[in-house]
Amino acid sequence: MPVRCCKFCLSLLFACVGLSANPVWVSLFNNAQVQSVVISAYTGDLLALGDMSQFTIVKGQAVNVVLHDRQIVVSNSRGVIGTFDRLIVAGVDTSAIVRLRPVLPFAEARNYDAYICMYADIGRIRMINQLEEAQYLAGVIEAETGAGRTSEFYKAFAVISRTYLYGHAERHVTEGFHLCDETHCQAFKGKCRYEAKIPAAVKATDSIIIVNGTSQPISATYHANCGGETESAKNAWQTDMPCLVPVNDPFCSSYPSAQWTKNISLDSWISYLVKNGFKPDPQKVTDFNFGQTNRKPNYIVHDFTLPFKQIRNDWNLRSAFFSISVGDDKVLLKGNGYGHGVGLCQEGAMEMGKRGYKYEDIIQFYYRNVRLVPIADLQINIPEILTTQ
Ligand SMILES: [Zn+2]
Ligand SMILES: [Zn+2]
């Protein structure tokens, strides 16, 4: 079992950054097997603890961290500082920001609120950011939705991201953290930097999450644009969920991703269908026509059936919500929306925010049979991470 961040070291440094006793632990650059990374003090000075030896990284300076055997080697321009099982970096005060720039493999640098623990994991340097729930949620909302939206839209996303956190905080516990920073969990690209409305939205919705009829956090899924009707979880994932049922959406139709088209040659289309079990009996080409004014699960030609979801994947289409019409030697796919279509439609929610709807209305419009409740009303906590010490 690899060395992990330990509570003893954490308690030494919690005071520096004013971190609460129960932070969120997020694995950074989780999909990259990072072998080498540069840590720099972006704002403020950093205090570093390599096993039991302490050193500082002053503002503007950097250290290199390289994986070597089952340890990490830390060096600066003057030479090796030490070889450690574990390195903890914290700000000397709450304004300090740590900048991480993976070198091998290369990745764009990102900034983090300053409490990061690193250690050699199997074939990689594991980097875990421990941060307040509000800091984590603000970073997620900026990564997932970008800047320039309305406050009510951001409040809706604050509640959605918090619901995800509390519904999935056990997901990576056996690996030594709560959530990863990839879309497997929620995208997190570091500290929220560009949009002041986001931290304000997190604060304004403090502790509110979305629950279903049995008071469990819902699966608050979302997508870019539903094309006028959201998809049910039952059709998309064969899981019946009363909160994720089709909703007719009048709000997203004016956005560019509401419509798309694709042309395919008739020969390619027929050979694709044959590959999937279609028997090419003599018939009219117009038999290949199929309309979806509302979402349907399957494309049907006589007794041949193929799920639209599969066609979407096979042809890399923007959505599974499209009609098919044959003209001359071509097949025209005329589609609606972008994404899987289940849950909240982001562009529809943006439009609702612009038209003055409150975040509660936005959530209740896209998720049905749900309640918004403070987390304190439920028996749900962020679990403690087990460590080797
Ligand atoms: Zn994950
Ligand atoms: Zn929509």
For the segment 270-298, what is each residue's pLDDT rounded down to a tens digit? 999 999 999 887 678 889 999 999 999 99
pLDDT of residue 12: 52
Residues 234 and 300 occupy one common structural domain: no
Query: Is a pLDDT exceeding 60 seen at residue 335?
Result: yes
Q: Are residues 235 and 280 in the same domain?
A: no
- Cα(274) to centroid of ligand 1, in Å? 38
Is the same domain home to 263 and 373? no
CA of 189 to the centre of ligand 1 (A): 14
Tell me the ligand closest to 27's alpha carbon. Answer: 1
Q: Is residue 227 part of a domain?
A: yes
Ligand 2 centroid to residue 273 C-alpha, Å: 30
DSSP one-letter code for 105: T
Distance 29 CA to ligand 1 centre (A): 11
Write out the residue range of the structural domain in which residue 17 sits: 7-131
Q: Are residues 246 and 262 in the same domain?
A: no
Residue 156's nearest CA partner among 377, 370, 7, 306 is: 370
Cα of 22 from ligand 1 centre, angstroms = 19
If asked whether residues 345 and 231 sit together in one domain, one would say yes
If you measure from the C-alpha of residue 20 to the centroid of ligand 1, how many angstroms do you get, rounded to a whole number?
A: 23
Same domain, 18 and 124: yes
State in Å: Cα 279 to ligand 1 middle. 42
The rounded Å distance from CA 79 to ligand 1 centre is 36
Percent of all residues in the chain with a pLDDT value above 70, rounded to a whole number: 94
The per-residue pLDDT for range 8-48, each reduced to its tens digit, is 455 555 545 556 667 999 999 999 999 999 999 999 899 99
- Calculate how far, in angstroms, residue 228's C-alpha sits from the geometric centre of ligand 2: 5
Ligand 1 center–CA 180 separation, angstroms: 4
- Tell me: pLDDT of 163 over 90: yes
CA of 160 to the centre of ligand 2 (A): 17
Per-residue b or e along 292-315, where b marks 16 or more CB atoms closer than 10 Å to that residue's CB: beebbbebeeeebebebbebbeee
The ligand minimizing its distance to the Cα of 26 is: 1
**Spatial separation of the C-alpha atoms in residues 110 and 39, rounded to whole Å:** 10
- Give a yes or no: residue 263 inside a domain: yes
Q: Are residues 162 and 121 in the same domain?
A: no
168 inside domain = yes
Backbone angles phi, psi at 178, to 5 degrees: -85, -55
pLDDT band at residue 1 using 50, 70 and 90 as cut-offs: very low
Residue 116 in any domain: the answer is yes
- 290 CA to centre of ligand 1 in angstroms: 38
Backbone conformation region of residue 79, classed left if phi is above 0, alpha if psi is from -120 to 50, else beta: left
237 with 351, same domain: the answer is yes
- CB 340, CB 246: distance < 8 Å: no
Asked, for residue 136, whether it belongs to a domain, the answer is no
The DSSP code sequence of 155-198 is HHHHHHHHHHHHHHTTTTGGGTSSEESSTTS----SS--S-THH
Residue 6's pLDDT is: 54
Tell me: pLDDT of 307 over 50. Answer: yes
Ligand nearest to the CA of 252: 2
Residues 320 and 358 in one domain: no
Given 131, 166, 199, the domain boundary residue is 131
> Among residues 95, 115, 131, which one ends one of the domains?
131
pLDDT for position 389: 42
Rounded Cα distance between 53 and 55, Å, is 7
Ligand 2 centroid–CA 363 distance in Å is 13
Size of the chain in residues: 389
Query: 3-class DSSP state for residue 305?
Result: strand
Question: Domain tally for the chain?
Answer: 3
Q: To the nearest whole number, what is the mean pLDDT of the chain?
A: 92
| CA–CA gap between residue 85 and residue 368 (Å, rounded) | 49
pLDDT, tens digit, 9 for 90 and up, residues 66-114: 999 899 999 999 999 999 999 999 988 888 999 999 999 999 999 999 7
The ligand with the least distance to the CA atom of 182 is 1
Distance of CA 108 to the CA centre of its chain: 18
Cα of 225 from ligand 2 centre, angstroms:
5
146 within some domain: no
Nearest to 119 by CA among 65, 190, 191: 65
Across residues 187-206, what is the average pLDDT?
96
* 39 and 126 inside one domain: yes
When pLDDT is cut at 50, 70 and 90, the band that residue 116 belongs to is very high
Q: How far apart are CA 116 and CA 10, in angstroms?
A: 10
CA of 202 to the centre of ligand 2 (A): 24
Specify the pLDDT at position 379.
85
Ramachandran angles phi, psi of 73, nearest 5°: -105, 125
Say yes or no: 201 and 318 in one domain.
no
Ligand 1 midpoint to CA 187 (Å): 9
384 inside domain: no
Q: How far apart are CA 242 and CA 214, in angstroms?
A: 11
What's the whole-model pTM score? 0.90
Is the domain of 362 the same as that of 216? yes
